[in-house]
Amino acid sequence: MLAPGGWFAASDWMIAGDTPTDQMAAYLALEDLDFQMASPARYRAALEAAGFVNITLTNRNAWYLEVARGELSLLETRRDALAAAHGAEFIDHSIVTWRAMIGVLETGEHCPHHIRAQKPA
């Protein structure tokens, strides 16, 4: 239980709007994700409805885009060694998935966030 005056802090994958584009839906299918991402606006509304105050949502898209590009580079440049260790099918699927993820990160539709909110005192 969060004490009065306490802070809730989390990170979560988010989507810019409440309905994914075809490009985002294709990425989610590649990831085999069976949950629905919420938009920052939907998160804020839920936190406000739960009575939280001092809500901040920090978009971490630019940071994660660079991380994902580095991960893709590693997958591509070390593909043969990774395939030998983990299976070619798995690594090849990962490369396709990371390319799709970078696409939706580049558009800003995939927007991981840090979330903070305070329970009123």
pTM of the model: 0.90
Kind and range of the H or E run holding 8: strand 7-12
Convert the pLDDT of each residue in 15-37 to its tens digit. 999 899 999 999 999 999 877 89
- Provide the pLDDT for residue 36: 84
Per-residue burial over 20-45, b if 16 or more Cβ lie within 10 Å, else e, is beeebeebbebeeeeeebbbbeebbe
What domains does the chain contain, in order, with CATH numbers?
7-118 (3.40.50.150)
Convert the pLDDT of each residue in 65-105 to its tens digit. 999 999 999 999 999 999 999 999 999 999 999 999 999 99
Kind and range of the H or E run holding 54: strand 53-59
